[in-house]
Amino acid sequence: MFSHFHRITKAAVFIICVFLAVIFTSLAFPTFERVHWYRQIIMTLSEPPQKVLSWMGNSVTDIWRHYISLVDASKENDLIKVQLAEANRKLIECEEIKKENTNLHELLAMSATLKLNGTGAHVVASNVLAEFKVLTIDKGYKDGIRKNMVVIGPGGIVGRIGQVASGEATVLLISDPNSAVDVLVQRSGARAILVGTSTSSELKPFFSLSRLEYLRKTSDIKNGDVIITSGLDKLFPPGVPVGTANNVELTTTNIFKAADVVPFVDLSQVRDVFVLK
C-alpha cells in the first residue's frame, strides 16, 4: 500500500511540475499563441505547394525579364544595323567621290600636258555590248558639243562624238568596228591605222581590243610598245595615249604586220570623260 501511495505522490508531483511550467511560460511570454494541431497539419501540408508556386512565380518573373532584355537587345541590334548600313552607304559615296576626283584630276592633267581645251562630262549610259559600241554623255549641243569631237578618259583615248542632242551626245568608241584612228608606235614612230574589233582581251578581262592594221612589214614594233595618236588624220590630236601592242604578227599576205592593242581605258567602266574642243 505504501508503494501504491508512493506512485500516486510521484504522479501528483509530475502534474504539478507541468502545471507550473505552463503557468511560467504563460507569464514569461504573454503574447505567445500556440498553433492548434489541425492548423499545424494544414501548414505542413501546404508548405510544399507554396514553395512550388513561389518557385514558378520567380521563374516566370525571370523569364519575362529575360524576354524584355532580349526585345531591348533586338531593338538595339536593329538600330546598330541601320547605323552600320548608313555608315557603309556614306563610305561607298566617299569612295565614289574619291574615284571621280581622281579621274577628273587625271583628265585635267592629261589635257594640260597635251595643251588641249575641252569640257568634262559624265557617262549616263553605256552600251558597249551592243553591235555599235557607244556611250552617252550628259553634255550636248547647248554645251558646245559637236559631231566628231574627240573624247578622252582617264588614261587615254575613248572615242569621238557621234550623234548630238540638245542635252546629251553619243560617243563612238575606238573598239567599234566603224572607228579608225591614225596612230604611231611611240618608241619607233612606225605608223598604222587603229580599227575597232569588239573583241575582249585576255590580258585585261572586259577590256575591248582594237587592232593595228597597215603596218609595214619592216615596221619596228614589239609586244608592249605604247601606241599614241599621230594627229595625221586631222581628227584626233597627236600624242594622246591609246594602249599597248600585243600579238604582233605578219598578215596572211606577208605584206603587212598586224597587232592587237590593249587600251589604257576600260571602256566598259569609264564614268568621266573629257570632250576636246
Q: CATH number of the domain at 250, please.
A: 2.40.10.350
Q: What is the pLDDT of residue 171?
A: 93
- Please count the other Cβ atoms lying within 10 Å of the Cβ belonging to residue 182: 18
Q: What is the pLDDT of residue 32?
A: 45
**Quick check: is 69 in a domain?**
yes
Q: What is the pLDDT of residue 206?
A: 47
**Quick check: is 175 in a domain?**
yes
**Quick check: is 263 in a domain?**
yes
- For residue 206, give the DSSP letter: T
Q: What is the pLDDT of residue 2?
A: 46
C-alpha cell of 148? 566628231
Q: What is the pLDDT of residue 112?
A: 64
Q: What is the pLDDT of residue 193?
A: 94
Domains held by the chain: number: 2
59: domain range? 39-113
Q: What is the pLDDT of residue 271?
A: 86
For residues 168 and 264, membership in a common domain is answered with: yes
Q: What is the pLDDT of residue 97?
A: 57
* Contact of 276 with 169, CB cutoff 8 Å: no
For residues 189 and 97, membership in a common domain is answered with: no
Q: What is the pLDDT of residue 168?
A: 95
Q: What is the pLDDT of residue 99?
A: 61
**Quick check: is 257 in a domain?**
yes
For residues 91 and 156, membership in a common domain is answered with: no
For residues 138 and 232, membership in a common domain is answered with: yes
> Which portions of the chain are predicted below pLDDT 70?
1-60, 62, 66-67, 83, 85-115, 127-132, 198-208
For residues 78 and 174, membership in a common domain is answered with: no
For residues 129 and 252, membership in a common domain is answered with: yes
- Please count the other Cβ atoms lying within 10 Å of the Cβ belonging to residue 153: 26
Strand 256-263 vs strand 180-185: parallel, antiparallel, or unpaired? unpaired
pTM: 0.59
Q: What is the pLDDT of residue 169?
A: 95
